[in-house]
Structure 1
Amino acid sequence: MSMPVMLFAAGFGTRMKHLTADRPKPMVEVAGRPLIDHAISLADGISPPSIVANLHYLPDILQQHLHPKGIQTIVETPDILETGGGLRNALPVLGAGPVFTMNTDAIWNGPNPLNMLLNAWDPDRMDALLMGIPPENALEHSGAGDFTIDDDGRLSRGPGVVYGGVQIIKTDLLSAVSERSFSLNLIWDQMLANGKLHGIEYSGRWCDVGHPDGVKTAEALLANNV
């Protein structure tokens, strides 16, 4: 059984420089399609009951693009709410159960990461399940990784895998955060302390499209040229 998908699409995209002067980052094109359409294709692959996107920077452009696709949008105003605040703000639309969250600034080449997460999800053991990328398969990303995965799939902070921006997460803990704008790292830290933050490794390759050079690399990845 699938679950709703939350697309994070509210960022300013400042690292994209001139590419986001007249459009939000999710509308930057990779291989002739907006970044967000690549994410939507993956979401559609698991037939979710709903897809919701949070917006902030130049929201009208995204609304005009997303509404004909049946995607619900929530404009964060006056301030951006970050990942945790944005997810909590969308819960009246998403519902109370576990949800997928998905960044919209990456390109995946390989199996559908949402389907991999769905197949590995065990709500009795997990409060969240994150998709990790081995650093050698994470293009346009530097560093040794964000998390270490142990033999039972539990995560700890440290080098090992790069968080790929896709997860399944229970939303119960969001209501206890007093700040209006906050990162999901706050929730992950609680799950880490309880041994309930889990991860799996992606078997394909992934590209961060957070800056202009990432567009060319992502296009080469899709063409299997890197």
Structure 2
Amino acid sequence: MEYSVFLLAAGFGTRLRPLTLHRPKPLLPLLGFPMVQYAVTWLRQHGHDRIIVNAHHLWEHVAAWSEREGLGLQVELPDILGTGGGLKAARDQLAEEFLVWNGDIVCDINPNALLSECPVGGASMALRYSSDLKKTTKLLVNDEGIVQRIGDVCVADNAPNLPSSPDGLHFTGIHAMTRESLKHIQEGFQCVVRSSYKELVQQEKVRSIRHEGCWFDTGLPKEYFEANMSALRGEIPLSFDPWEKADDRFDDSFVHHEANIEGSLVQSIVGAKAHVSRDAQLHRCIVWDSVEVPAGVYKDGIFFDGGFLSIGEEE
């Protein structure tokens, strides 16, 4: 089988610790379901059901989930291969044109629009405008949508200098590539941008689409928390309706119908088979599935497999 999507799920999720010490980042729940579940559903809705997922950190969790979903699996052991090395290892299993999708990004990027812009032997990137690029790499694109610079790493001949302004376009982490473009990647651990894209940008073989819709990066505990709260308020367009599994007795909270609630909730999210004890009071809290909440008053935090994390603790 040739896969049309390479789903990235191997990373350590270092910035999300301690949450990712217990589950891989793509499997962290968003409104009661794994984040990556929304990506897979979105891709399938656009005709892409031949999906292979890579795994390294806590790979057994990813393997069990991918088997339930009927996905292909590439386990990277003993060492993680990076975005480039993982693609290189999967090369013979990938279609001539394929999507590279980050399993921990929630978005409504059109995968088929991205594929339609992918040139022969090249790649196409979904880009997004941001008014603050302190944490991301700025890109330059010409009037024809061809990527001329990715920071100072990938630079086409005669490309203009990067402007000093804090705003601009950045890479969403979602892109399309061709099998031929993987020839620029060496075996072992490699970054796809510093290997394949470095060559492709010089050859002007990287095109782009501009994404103006939904895009959430859940890189830090606070960002992950706020993404859940936004989803609870209905501000994120999700690829399926998690509320179909919710207990409708709770007006302002999402409670999975398999959860056991004895305490009180305000604007909170409780996953399947979780238990909120009688003397527990939750305000703007996330409770992962199968987690026990003891008595106490809790506000703005996450109950996860390893305990309780106040979102103020990660600053």
TM-score interval for Structure 1 and Structure 2 normalised by the shorter chain: 0.7 to 0.9
| SS of alignment partner, residue 18 of structure 2 | helix
Is 1:206 aligned to residue 215 of structure 2? Answer: yes
TM-score (norm 2): 0.63
Are the aligned partners of 1:27 and 1:34 in contact in 2 as well (CA < 8 Å)?
yes
How far did residue 52 of structure 1 move? 0.3
| SS of alignment partner, residue 216 of structure 2 | strand
Larger radius of gyration: 2
Change (3 A) 1:204 1:67: same
CA RMSD of aligned residues (A): 2.2
Q: Which residue is 1:154 aligned to?
A: 146
Q: Which residue is 1:178 aligned to?
A: 186
How far did residue 121 of structure 1 move? 2.0
Give the whole-Å Cα distance in 2 for the aligned partners of 1:142 and 1:79: 30
- Counting matched residue pairs gives 215
Are the aligned partners of 1:42 and 1:114 in contact in 2 as well (CA < 8 Å)?
no
| SS of alignment partner, residue 183 of structure 1 | coil
Are the aligned partners of 2:126 and 2:174 in contact in 1 as well (CA < 8 Å)?
yes
Deviation readout 1:133-183 (Å, 9 max, x if unpaired): 1114x8xx7447531221100112246311111111112242353341111
Are the aligned partners of 2:43 and 2:49 in contact in 1 as well (CA < 8 Å)?
no
Q: Which residue is 1:68 aligned to?
A: 68
Matches within 5 A, 1:1-226: 4-48=4-48, 50-95=50-95, 97-108=96-107, 111-118=108-115, 120-124=116-120, 127-136=122-131, 142-143=134-135, 145-157=137-149, 158=151, 160-185=168-193, 186-222=195-231, 223-224=234-235
Change (3 A) 1:177 1:215: closer
Q: Which moved further from structure 2: 63-72 or 170-179?
A: 170-179
Identity %: 27
Gaps of 5+ in 2: 152-161, 163-167, 237-315
Change (3 A) 1:135 1:73: same
How far did residue 46 of structure 1 move? 1.8
How far did residue 217 of structure 1 move? 2.5
Give the whole-Å Cα distance in 2 for the aligned partners of 1:152 and 1:45: 29
Deviation readout 1:87-116 (Å, 9 max, x if unpaired): 111123224x011001112112xx443133
Q: Which residue is 2:286 aligned to?
A: none
Give the whole-Å Cα distance in 1 for the aligned partners of 2:134 and 2:67: 35
Q: Which has the higher contact order (CA 8 A, sep 6+)?
A: 1
Letter in 2 for 1:103: N
How far did residue 37 of structure 1 move? 0.8
Give the whole-Å Cα distance in 2 for the aligned partners of 1:194 and 1:221: 41
Change (3 A) 1:89 1:6: same
How far did residue 207 of structure 1 move? 1.5
Gaps of 5+ in 1: none
How far did residue 221 of structure 1 move? 4.0
TM-score (norm 1): 0.86
| SS of alignment partner, residue 17 of structure 2 | helix
Deviation readout 1:46-92 (Å, 9 max, x if unpaired): 21251000000111111111112111111001100001110111123
